[in-house]
Amino acid sequence: MAHADDELARLWGAFRKAPFPDALRRTRLAGEDAALLDFEIAGLVWVDIHKGLDGERVAALREYLAVLDEALPLIQDEYGASYFTELRTMAAMVAERHPLGVEESASRPTRRSGPPVRPPRPGRVRRPGRAAGPDERWRVRTPVR
């Protein structure tokens, strides 16, 4: 496991320095925005390296891997294909570290046309008494000193 962790850390270090492919800006891959796909998957890899993923995030990562499997053959730009192949390699390494368990398989969402629903961004909380929905309002939580 330590060897896999070292390899993932090495790949992550190299990937962080690589610029996003210009040819894929404002491009959709398999129905998903390429930049958002990169952002979501790289974020999940980062969380796993630094904190570890919970069952929901592992399921989301597996959903994104399925999207990448559809998208990779569609990328015609050589650098873009290389960039997303590296991202897929890291995501697959993370997914392999989290075998599909009984609890996760029961709560695993079914495949739908869009990406998995993201949890709220850290540092933001829903206002009490408000219903959750696409137009819900958020307020920033200020740290207590």
- The one-digit pLDDT tens for each residue of the chain (145 residues) are 566 788 998 999 999 999 999 999 999 988 889 999 999 999 999 999 888 888 889 999 999 999 999 999 989 999 999 999 999 999 999 999 888 763 444 444 444 455 555 555 555 555 555 555 554 444 455 556 5
Coil vs helix vs strand at 140: strand
94, two tokens: 């993370």
The conformation of residue 99, written as its DSSP 8-state character, comes to -
Is the whole model's pTM more than 0.75, yes or no?
Answer: no
- In the block, which residue shows the tokens 């398999």? 30
Alpha-carbon distance of 26 to 34, in angstroms, equals: 7
Alpha-carbon distance of 142 to 72, in angstroms, equals: 41
